[in-house]
Chains A and B, each alone.
Chain A
Amino acid sequence: MNLRTFLLGTCSAVALAGLAQAETLTIATVNNGDMIRMQKLTDDFTSKNPDIQLEWVTLEENVLRQRVTTDIATKGGQYDIMTIGTYEVPIWAKQGWLLPLDNLGPDYDVDDLLPAIRSGLTVDGKLYAAPFYGESSMVMYRKDLFEKAGLTMPEAPTWDFIAEAARKITDKDNEIYGICLRGKAGWGENMAFLTATANSFGARWFDENWQPQFDQPEWKKTLDFYVKLMNDAGPPGASSNGFNENLSLFQTGKCGMWIDATVAASFVTNPKESTVADKVGFALAPDTGLGKRGNWLWAWSLAIPAGSQKADAAQKFIAWATGKDYLKLVAEQEGWANVPPGTRTSLYENPEYQKAAPFAKATLESINSADPKNPAVKPVPYVGVQFVAIPEFQGLGTAVGQQFSAALAGQMSVDQALASAQQLTTREMTRAGYIK
């Protein structure tokens, strides 16, 4: 024991001495596939920047969010770079918690970032986080099942068509369910999908005076449609299905359609993971003819906490991880289909990428058609497509999501769910001082 302590002590002393000149960046990131790839490719960065060491904290999304939020709000200073989403950036930037990224180097080409994504990460004209990958949502469907049912998926379907097709394809005896949609309660789970869908039905979370709108007919239409469709054509246990569960259903060939994140496209078309890899088609998220589609917008982005002592090194890393050369690096090592999607215009103009990624066009169109500053048909006082960028939303969205999930599970009626959503939202917004 003593000997070991002694040895350990010596080792760390030696290590410390060796790193005396090097700066260590602690990077908090989410455990999605693209980030894990970045972690594996860091040798490229450290060989170009021998004076910078990297230390990774990779966590599951919800845990990561709790950790970084607690840390930045208490100025804990545990992380030099944080991976955050489109939801956090505007809120945190307004608090002065983030460092504007104005020193990303001459080769960075900020104007190459997709405008919709960039606008979601910009506050008062300054970029506060650099997008690592971006996503929207779209329809993924089984071409073989559509053919069998004599259906053709239009490029931009309506909800009515989706509902009709879903019911037609469903064959419960053979475990084929027409449509798989998120049902698991959570602001980033079922509410991401339902809020985006509600936009296309003309609904909104709040009116211009921050009055909750769940008592309006648009929400009733949305939720009625969703619950009925899922009861007729959805898989069993839909109310506990999130992204993952639906992914596995789709990959094992049990879903006719799946409307979810565009990043899923590369999973379902990967023959190593998916049994239906060669049978998947893509289309834009549906609408109801009101001018908004039911697709969301999200970008996992890298940001630096204000007051960081290592801002220069951190910006160097961010420029590396979100720059054009990184895309090339991934393409060389893993093929073009695996580069982080949805951040740069130049990627979508690259013919090699277009060839390798059959989902490129649908992804780009979906991202471009999302407008976080004008998400709903009617005017709203907030920013965000599938969320409302106010600090209260995480709790609020999850509480409302629980009601809707219960409605899907058949444990309360649609009307009851909406009434209690309205009630609890009003309660929370009054407490937070939005409703005077």
Chain B
Amino acid sequence: MELLGTVVVLTIKSLIFIIGMFLGAAYLTLLERKFAGHVQQRPGPLHVGPHGFLQPIADALKVLTKEDLVPDSVDKVLFYLASLMAFVPAIMILAVVPFGDPFTIFGVEIKPYITDLNVGLLLALAFGSISIYGVIFAGWASNSKYPMIGGLRKAAVLIGYEVALGFALVGPIMMAGSFSLREIVEAQQNMWFIIPNILAFVVVIFCILAETGRTPFDVQEAEAELVGGYVTEYTGMKFGLFPLAEWYIATFVLSAITVILFFGGWNPLPLMGWLPIPAFVWFFIKVFLLFMFFLWVHWTLPRYRVDQITELAWKVMLPLALANIFIVAIWIIIFG
């Protein structure tokens, strides 16, 4: 009976998370388009609903009703699998992201996270890596040159930055003494981990930009050279899932993990603890600010070459991550 209850609660919770993430991602597209527009001194979508507020819904309807073409020469199984492989792992990272402390409503204790695994961070890293296989599969299965080049570029970027990302996350783990994201947040009540881990934070920012294919590292799409890269052969909603997964869901979820690791999760901002704002609102404010930072970077910078990207990964980011581990170790020895 208890098992059944757990299953029902988990199902409901997962549905809420997934639907919320879908709607959230839809509106993140609007946010991005508005931001991009204003950066370029144009207003962005404006006419569907008040100030373009219903534009994501119109876009979703349009993309869903588009003709879904599958080219003859593609590898059918991988072709279908690729869009799912890009999308599902990205949303599965949500399973380990805690959005706040457990709280009680009407005598029922509600935990605003799906699971509190003791290897949560590793799981998030693993899913983040798997979602990149979607891009590589798409490049291979399309049986076309541009997607192939895009997929291979993504693989090259991935190999460099996964290593650096893994090492960069060691710092907060060392300070918290746990892989569980909830315990990492609880360890930051007095001081955020950004203080000794500033190098790791820089590395993580670069790694997230590289992993989600946002601008300085968007070599796998590179619309000027690769006509859209790995999505060249895709149409309809299969095409729509890739940017949805990569640019919005993955960026959002990885921002959430960065906030948890470096900015104290749902702890209030310093000197603002007296404000009557619930914990999860603090969390979403921080995630939103970080997401906006990624948008800002995206709509500012031009693209690196592939060799520059790998050079940056191996010659700069990896040593920085290792140096961060050293600094944190000394910090722990001195300050306990």
B is bound to A: no
Interface residue ranges, B against A (CB under 8 Å)? none
Contacts from A to B (Cβ < 8 Å): none
